[in-house]
Amino acid sequence: MQVGLSTKNAPSIWVVVPHFLIGTVSFLLASLFVVFNYEDLLGYHINGHVLAIAHLMILGWVSMIIFGALYQLIPVVMQVKLYSEKLAIITLVSLVIGLFFLIAAFLGYKFQLTNNFIVGGSLVIFAIILFAINTLLSALSSDEKSISKLYIAAAGGYLLLTVLMGLFIPINLTYNLLPLAHTQLMTTHIILGLAGWFLMLVIGVAAKLMPMFLIVHRTKENLLKWGFYLINGGIIVIFVTTFISGTPYLLNQISFISILAGFVLFLFFNYDVFSHRMRRKLDIGMKLSAIGLTMFAVSILSFVALYFSNGVFGLAVGRLEILAGLMLVYGFFTGLILGQTYKTLPFIIWLFYYQKLVGKQKVPLVADLYSDRLAEIHMYSFLLSIVLFVIGLLFSIKIVLLIAALAMLFTSLVYGFNVYKMIFHRKQRVNA
């Protein structure tokens, strides 16, 4: 094998593709839930339907695609084979069954520890632990020294910490092991999960892929190095001080600003990459990714408003939380996933069908596996849904929220059709 080639390290199509399929179905289901329960978005966030939607989006859609995409990208970023494909399959099965029980529990409106919660929660946690182990062991077996690998390995560590913290909360509530406010524990749990796991992972992957796809050579990697120190410093201080009583509020605020500053540096890194790209014309995948990154900047502002105030423009904190979460999970993560789907999924399908045929017969290009036109259409409906969600939530206009929900459903349907087109691609023979 020639050094530096990742194709031979590439995982089996059967490991990656089911994640995209199940992720897309989850996105579709979550959109349907939003259409039928759009009025709930205006209420306080602890509501069975909103929690079902949030978990379908975070676990079924975002995490599912991230898991599948990362299995495909570990060989690219770390130049090593995924530690275990069997572990990846067990993770997938456990996550899907766990998610099913968890959604059933949320829709049941019971906030006691029902059997559905116990079974669903345990399976999801089990899946997440397996995934983190698989990622960390892959990172450990790689000799590659890059900022991308550092971020991804740290993200794997934070994922484990997030799960442990999530387990500790109900145990502490029941047995009162430490005299800590559970809201404080919950805040730390969310910061670990969002900043430590999701965002560190996204930064790690984007640090490698953005310059690669846009053809940029000299990147401002120092921004990412400083970002790493700022984000980790902030998270560690917040985590440690959760368990120390009487921590000055100012220290928490400084840590929070430190984390945000790290994310701002990541945005500057991307701005620099986009500005210096050799590939001036953006394809649909990169356009959607750019929208996602812009939404990230908006979600940072939403979180700042949430953290430093008890309400903005007279808004209840509950609604501000939904707005901030929506911008992050829907605007940023969904935008980035919609875009990066077109940069990852067609490759593994194309390699599966055509790798052995190149040179022997004319084969289609990677971009021929999906409809560019359909992708453009769902880009605009996605943008429309974001704008309408923001207006509907800020000004409590139900009809606007309904149209936003329908635009989201339309986006998921069109995107779903394109994913279907890629996954169930029929081998073509292109005439020369």
Rule CB under 8 A: which residues touch other proteins? Answer: 2-8, 10, 75-79, 208, 211-213, 215-217, 278-281, 347, 350-351, 355-356, 358-360, 365-367
Residue/partner pairs of 343-347 with CB below 8 Å, 24 or more apart: 343/209, 343/213, 343/285, 343/286, 343/289, 344/69, 344/72, 344/73, 345/16, 345/17, 345/20, 345/419, 345/422, 345/423, 346/370, 346/422, 347/72
State the nearest-atom distance from the C-beta of 217 to other proteins, in Å: 5
State the nearest-atom distance from the C-beta of 69 to other proteins, in Å: 12
State the nearest-atom distance from the C-beta of 215 to other proteins, in Å: 5
What is d(CA 421, CA 405) in angstroms, rounded to the nearest whole number?
Answer: 24
- What sign does the CA torsion over 264, 266, 272, 278 have? negative
> Residues 6 or more apart from 259 whose CB is under 8 A from it?
191, 195, 230, 231, 234, 235, 238
The smaller minimum CB distance to other proteins, of residues 79 and 122, is found at: 79
The smaller minimum CB distance to other proteins, of residues 113 and 215, is found at: 215
State the nearest-atom distance from the C-beta of 363 to other proteins, in Å: 8
Query: Do 68 and 17 form a contact (C-beta atoms < 8 A)?
Result: yes
The smaller minimum CB distance to other proteins, of residues 80 and 238, is found at: 80
In one-letter notation, the amino acid at residue 374 is L
| 222: number of Cβ within 10 Å | 11
State the nearest-atom distance from the C-beta of 92 to other proteins, in Å: 21
State the nearest-atom distance from the C-beta of 274 to other proteins, in Å: 14
DSSP string, 98-111: HHHHHHHHHHTT--
State the nearest-atom distance from the C-beta of 10 to other proteins, in Å: 7
What is d(CA 167, CA 184) in angstroms, rounded to the nearest whole number?
Answer: 15
The smaller minimum CB distance to other proteins, of residues 314 and 359, is found at: 359
What is d(CA 276, CA 266) in angstroms, rounded to the nearest whole number?
Answer: 15
What is d(CA 128, CA 73) in angstroms, rounded to the nearest whole number?
Answer: 18
The smaller minimum CB distance to other proteins, of residues 120 and 211, is found at: 211
The smaller minimum CB distance to other proteins, of residues 50 and 375, is found at: 375
The smaller minimum CB distance to other proteins, of residues 118 and 430, is found at: 430
State the nearest-atom distance from the C-beta of 362 to other proteins, in Å: 10
| 25: number of Cβ within 10 Å | 18
Angle formed by the axes of helices 147-175 and 221-242, to 10°? 10
What is d(CA 312, CA 300) in angstroms, rounded to the nearest whole number?
Answer: 15
The smaller minimum CB distance to other proteins, of residues 116 and 148, is found at: 148
The smaller minimum CB distance to other proteins, of residues 238 and 363, is found at: 363
State the nearest-atom distance from the C-beta of 5 to other proteins, in Å: 5
